Amino acid sequence: MSSHQKRELIRALVIDDNVDLAENIREILEELGVEALLAHDAASALEIAARVVGAIDLAFVDLKLPGGGSGVELLPRLRALSAEIEVIIVTGNATLDSAVQAVRHGIFAYVQKPFDARDFIAIAERVVAQIRLRKERERLARELERSEELHRSLVEMVDAAILLIDREGTILFANPFAEERSPHPHGLIGESFIETFIEECLRTRVRRALSELRPYERSEGVESHARVGDQLRTLRWSVSRGGSGSDERYLAVGIDLTEMRALQMRALEAEALAAIGTLTSGLAHEIRNPLNAAALQLELIVRSARRVEEGSLRDRIEERVEIVRTELARLSSMLNDFLSLSRPAALSLEEKDLRDIIESVEALQRPLLEAEGIELRVDLPETPVRARIDETKIKQALINLVQNALEAIRAKGGGVIEIRAKARSDGAVELAVADDGPGFGAASGDLLRPFMTTKEGGTGLGLAIVRTIVERHGGELRLFANSPRGAVAQFTIDRRA
């Protein structure tokens, strides 16, 4: 007898007004490991069955009970209290009619008195064995249900995409993690695993690898990119084959490497910026001195040119001086950008209404944009949008984004730039600069990295500086397409930063 069976208690109720017979039946049952309770009539039997903790599993019922009651008539009331109860009718007044009624009520056995002791014990052993078997099945079913629930929870909670696919690659099951990375708004079930998650250049290789998998063998991992909304996710997939024939199924597990790759890239960027910071800091003094001296010499040249009598010569000199002055200013600006990115100053946080900062940026940028034929729109809520920020840094970030939008749409000879802000319900504020220019293109994520630019002559530092400012405020900068055309640079800041 197993430890589980020992713990599974079986309770029996012996209902008979013959005390000696009832005691004998109890002794037999206790020898079989059954707890037996005695009742002498229907009323006491129902009282015991209702009072006992747990169901009564077995009842020995005398067909003729005191008070004129019938054991067969008692059966429905016992089953109302213990649905799975097994019943053995014991009677010294057997009739065909009573036997038929008892069988209709689903009794286990119909025993006539006087009975052979060995036959009776054999019946008792069979019914107890049947009850133990039922209880074992119920226990196994409960354990299976708990096990399934545990595995279901693991599959649903694990930070990996888990798919069950058939031999054609059709997705039969997808856990929530996989569904969250699905490009299909209606879900993954019924979609092609390869078409959904494997980029085109790798599909032939993956199909061949799956066709060559043996039962219970796992494929080598393959990294692939899949677009989810406006994000490009990187997942590393490995596929295991389950069986063959009708049981041929494949388990595909995808580890999302997007955040890890981003962290690795940020670490490399940090190392590069640290090296640049060391270099820039050392050269800043050496560079600024010649720049200042050159600017001073230009001013002297301008003053000397004003004394030149020939107007055309004077104009040519001033024109060339202005070109050199513009280039010197650009070099100085680049140097400041390098220093700002590699050695950012500590933030000076104060609670501010972001509407005031945006209006300040609007006043500063509107004349410049109007001179280029570009309309500037500002969309602000009527209520304050407050957050703890470094006002100078946030203003710098917004100006950088407006300048970036200006450079993007300048070539088409006009357009619209919009600055907007709002407070979100999750405790963050959201700011965005949108334009109707050509957009960022497919490599929008790369543009946040230092020195990445799509503009001729650009340094690739503008958006990187904005990202650094936003992240130091505990926020996130995102780039995505505007509708119907153009680009949006949007960032969030925690109000309590």
- Same domain (yes/no): 43, 132: yes
Instruction: Label residue 2 by pLDDT band (50, 70, 90).
Output: very low
Report the distance separating Cα 463 and Cα 446, nearest Å: 10
The more confidently predicted of residues 362 and 158 is 362
Name the range with the highest mean pLDDT among 49-58, 287-296, 330-339, 397-406. 397-406
Is the per-residue pLDDT at 457 higher than 60? no
- Same domain (yes/no): 445, 395: yes
- Same domain (yes/no): 247, 294: no
Report the distance separating Cα 497 and Cα 494, nearest Å: 5
Report the CATH number that the domain containing residue 173 is assigned in CATH. 3.30.450.20
Is the per-residue pLDDT at 6 higher than 70? no
Name residue 489's beta-bridge partners.
433, 479
Task: Give the model's pLDDT for residue 441.
Answer: 61
Chain-centroid distance of CA 142 in Å reads 30
- Same domain (yes/no): 9, 147: yes
- Same domain (yes/no): 84, 181: no
Report the distance separating Cα 197 and Cα 351, nearest Å: 45
- Same domain (yes/no): 335, 357: no
Name the range with the highest mean pLDDT among 23-27, 155-159, 281-285, 317-321. 23-27
Residues 6+ apart with CB under 8 A from 274: 342
- Same domain (yes/no): 246, 293: no
- Same domain (yes/no): 8, 84: yes
Is the per-residue pLDDT at 378 higher than 90? yes
What average pLDDT score do residues 471-483 get?
84
Task: Give the model's pLDDT for residue 479.
Answer: 84
Report the CATH number that the domain containing residue 36 is assigned in CATH. 3.40.50.2300
Task: Give the model's pLDDT for residue 433.
Answer: 93
Tens-place pLDDT, residues 88-125: 998 888 788 888 888 888 899 988 888 888 888 999 99
End-to-end Cα, the chain, rounded Å = 65
Is the per-residue pLDDT at 442 higher than 80? no
Tens-place pLDDT, residues 202-260: 888 888 888 888 888 888 888 888 777 667 788 889 998 887 666 678 999 988 888 88
Write down which residue in 230, 256, 282 finishes a domain. Answer: 256
Q: Considering only 104-108, 165-169, 314-318, 469-473, which range has the smallest mean pLDDT? A: 314-318
What average pLDDT score do residues 306-322 get?
76
Phi and psi at 350, nearest 5°, equal -145, 150
Is the per-residue pLDDT at 281 higher than 70? no
Task: Give the model's pLDDT for residue 1.
Answer: 43
Burial 137-158 (b: 16+ CB within 10 A, else e): eeeeeeeeeeeeeeeeeebeee
Q: What is the rounded average pLDDT for all residues in the chain?
A: 81
Instruction: Label residue 276 by pLDDT band (50, 70, 90).
Output: low
Q: For residue 209, give both structure tokens.
A: 């690898």
Chain-centroid distance of CA 371 in Å reads 48
- Same domain (yes/no): 11, 149: yes
Give the domain range for residue 165.
158-256
Q: Considering only 2-11, 110-119, 355-364, 369-378, which range has the smallest mean pLDDT? A: 2-11
- Same domain (yes/no): 143, 184: no
Q: For residue 454, give both structure tokens.
A: 């799509």
- Same domain (yes/no): 234, 273: no
What average pLDDT score do residues 335-345 get?
62
Helix crossing, 391-409 with 462-472: angle to 10°? 150
Q: Considering only 3-7, 284-288, 406-410, 422-426, which range has the smallest mean pLDDT? A: 3-7
Write down which residue in 342, 376, 403 finishes a domain. Answer: 342
Task: Give the model's pLDDT for residue 287.
Answer: 63
Task: Give the model's pLDDT for residue 4.
Answer: 44
The more confidently predicted of residues 277 and 431 is 431
- Same domain (yes/no): 11, 113: yes
The more confidently predicted of residues 217 and 264 is 217
Residues 6+ apart with CB under 8 A from 188: 163, 171, 174, 178, 179, 182, 196
Q: What is the DSSP secondary structure assignment for residue 343, as one 8-state letter?
A: S
pTM value?
0.43
Burial 284-320 (b: 16+ CB within 10 A, else e): eeebeeeeeeeeeebeebeeebeeeeeeeebeebeee
Asked if residue 83 lies in contact with residue 106, where contact means CB atoms within 8 angstroms, the answer is no
Is the per-residue pLDDT at 169 higher than 80? yes
Q: What is the number of domains present in the chain?
A: 4
Write down which residue in 112, 129, 153 finishes a domain. Answer: 153
| pLDDT-above-70 percentage for the chain | 83
Report the CATH number that the domain containing residue 449 is assigned in CATH. 3.30.565.10
Residue with tokens 């203003």: 395
Task: Give the model's pLDDT for residue 191.
Answer: 92
Asked if residue 60 lies in contact with residue 85, where contact means CB atoms within 8 angstroms, the answer is no
Task: Give the model's pLDDT for residue 461.
Answer: 66
